[in-house]
């Protein structure tokens, strides 16, 4: 049995967390008391303490989210980090992230949660209710909703009141000048929303960032041209037909070319361009060049073409079928993106011919982790199992690695090496 001695006021946050972890470990190993009454009282006390811990957790998660620290560790979003690294269910991860993001705007909720006067369930309910309100309306809604809490309404009722408050504000602010939800998303990430109609059709709406737009234009534009003088379809109809052809596997050819210097592809800062002359920053060009269906046209001195990547660098349909059998999800441990939605990844990097397109040199990785792997090769540990499947384990950033005792990055070793299981 371990002993814990902590001077609360003098202890650092790290020391308090470590002490709490030690106590939790000891508590979890003990059997419940035989008295049901005692268990009821202990449950209420422990739950109240857990709610106060949620206050501290919201602060930690909020800082990670605001600084995007999780991306340095190989996670595409804060929610993905909470799911993969901490094993949270998706709804729980969303709740904690919402509370972390709204905590600054809810001073009364934050204070009451930290002092044990408000449960985590109520705090999350209020945070979710105000997440789409501006700061002025947020302050008024917080006071109103906490008033309902004081009156003894359940969390479900408070959530219903929150939805009604949002509806009333939307009616009050019926203005064309108000930014819609699509605008609030920003323009850094691509997104698509689909809605099924009653007849089985589907409405599609979305936004593509410059990287994905280049792939869209290069792939669909040639296919969306009129089939001949008797083709009377308008452009939207031809574009839909082109997309359907690509999705059904009826079109495999690559039509996207990124023109860049060799130095740009290998880490330089010189900008690249698309065939239509659109300039592309160097870092963005390297990301685009990793996408399936894109060929990098390398230029030497005097803009003389040195090399044009060929479509054959991508896996064949048969190879893809084998890989989807091996990889039900992304090769990165903990990533839940289905293999059918992943990209074929050259394990050792295809650039400059370091890895052939052979089935035993390929894996499936989601688009985000595919780019992360090639941009941060020192943060990927690769192992290969007896079934021929590669497993990518995320490593901490270099400045945090010494504390983890992790082996050298990028090496291929036995799948059960305990030094690789820091993310277990």
Q: Per residue in 206-249, pLDDT tens?
A: 888 776 777 787 778 777 877 767 777 888 888 888 887 777 66
The larger pLDDT score, comparing residue 356 to residue 369, is at 369
Q: DSSP of 256-295, one letter per residue?
A: EEEEEEHHHHTT----EEETT--EE-HHHHHHHHTSTTEE
Contacts of 106 (CB under 8 A, 6+ apart): 123, 126, 127, 130, 138, 142
Between 49-53, 185-189, 295-299, the lowest mean confidence (pLDDT) is in: 295-299
Q: What's the pLDDT score for residue 401?
A: 66
Single pTM value for the model: 0.62
Which two three-digit tokens encode residue 363?
């894996």
Task: Band the pLDDT of 422: cuts 50, 70, 90.
Answer: very low
Query: Do 238 and 226 form a contact (C-beta atoms < 8 A)?
Result: yes
Q: Is the pLDDT of residue 147 over 90?
A: yes
Dihedral, CA of residue 254, residue 258, residue 262 and residue 266, to nearest 10: -90
Taking the C-alpha atoms of residue 278 and residue 36, their distance in angstroms, rounded to an integer, is 71
Between 275 and 51, whose confidence is greater? 51
- DSSP E strands in 215-353: the ranges are 256-261, 272-274, 279-280, 294-299, 305-308, 343-346
Nearest-angstrom CA–CA distance, 231 and 96? 53
Q: N- to C-terminal Cα distance for the chain?
A: 25
- State the pLDDT confidence band at 350, using cuts at 50, 70 and 90: low
What's the mean per-residue pLDDT of the chain? Answer: 79
Q: Which range scores top for mean pLDDT: 103-107, 130-134, 153-157, 292-296?
A: 103-107
* Alpha carbon distance 165, 68 (integer Å): 31
Distance between CA atoms of 212 and 343, rounded to whole angstroms? 14
Closest by CA to 247, choosing from 340, 154, 181, is 340
Give ∠ CA 133-134-140 in degrees, rounded to 5. Answer: 75
CA dihedral for 217, 220, 226, 231, sign (positive or negative): negative
Q: How confident is the model at residue 251 (pLDDT cuts 50, 70, 90)?
A: low
Say if strands 380-384 and 362-365 run parallel, antiparallel, or are unpaired: unpaired
The pLDDT of residue 53 is: 94
Distance of CA 283 to the CA centre of its chain: 20
Distance (Å, whole) CA 138 – CA 194: 30
Higher pLDDT: 57 or 285? It is 57
Residue position matching structure tokens 């309404």: 153
**Contact present, 330 and 367 (Cβ < 8 Å):** no
pLDDT the model gives residue 424: 28
Q: What is the pLDDT of residues 64-103, one digit of tens each?
A: 999 999 999 999 889 999 988 888 888 899 999 999 999 9
Please give the average per-residue pLDDT across 17-40, as a whole number. Answer: 92
- pLDDT above 60: residue 417: no
Residue with tokens 């996408």: 291
Residues 309, 310, 316, 317, CA torsion sign = positive
Residue 237 main-chain phi, psi, to 5 deg? -70, -40
Measured CA to CA, the distance from residue 130 to residue 148 in angstroms comes to 15
């Amino acid at each position: 049995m371990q002993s814990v001695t902590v001077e609360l006021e003098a202890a650092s946050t790290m020391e308090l967390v470590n002490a709490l972890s030690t106590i939790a470990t000891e508590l979890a190993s003990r059997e419940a008391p035989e008295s049901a009454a005692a268990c009821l009282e202990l449950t209420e006390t422990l739950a109240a303490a857990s709610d106060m811990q949620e206050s501290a957790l919201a602060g930690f998660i909020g800082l990670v989210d605001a600084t995007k620290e999780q991306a340095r560790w190989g996670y595409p979003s804060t929610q993905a980090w909470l799911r993969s690294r901490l094993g949270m269910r998706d709804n729980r991860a969303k709740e904690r992230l919402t509370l972390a993001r709204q905590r600054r705007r809810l001073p009364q909720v934050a204070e009451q949660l930290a002092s044990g006067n408000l449960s985590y369930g109520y705090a999350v309910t209020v945070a979710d209710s105000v997440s789409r309100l501006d700061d002025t309306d947020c302050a008024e809604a917080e006071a109103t909703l906490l008033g309902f809490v004081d009156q003894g309404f359940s969390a479900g009722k408070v959530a219903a009141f929150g939805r009604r408050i949002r509806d009333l504000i939307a009616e009050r602010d019926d203005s064309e000048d108000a930014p819609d939800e699509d605008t609030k998303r920003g323009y850094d990430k691509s997104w698509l929303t689909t809605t099924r109609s009653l007849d089985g059709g589907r409405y599609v709406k979305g936004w593509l960032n410059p990287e994905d737009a280049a792939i869209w234009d290069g792939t669909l534009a040639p296919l969306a041209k009129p089939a001949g003088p008797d083709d009377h379809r308008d452009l939207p109809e031809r574009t839909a037909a082109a997309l359907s052809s690509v999705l059904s596997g009826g079109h495999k050819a690559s039509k996207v070319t990124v023109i860049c210097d060799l130095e740009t592809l290998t880490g330089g800062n010189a900008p690249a361009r698309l065939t239509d002359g659109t300039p592309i920053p160097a870092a963005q060009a390297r990301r685009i060049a990793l996408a399936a269906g894109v060929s990098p046209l390398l230029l030497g001195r005097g803009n003389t073409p040195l090399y044009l990547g060929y479509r054959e660098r991508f896996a064949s349909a048969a190879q893809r079928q084998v890989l989807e059998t091996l990889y039900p999800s992304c090769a990165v441990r903990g990533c839940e993106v289905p293999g059918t939605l992943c990209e074929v990844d050259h394990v050792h990097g295809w650039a400059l011919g370091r890895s052939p397109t052979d089935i035993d040199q390929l894996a499936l990785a989601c688009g985000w982790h595919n780019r992360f792997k090639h941009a941060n090769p020192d943060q990927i540990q690769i192992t290969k199992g007896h079934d021929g499947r590669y497993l990518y384990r995320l490593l901490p950033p270099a400045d945090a690695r010494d504390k983890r005792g992790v082996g050298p990055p990028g090496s291929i070793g036995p799948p059960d090496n305990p030094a690789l299981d820091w993310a277990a």
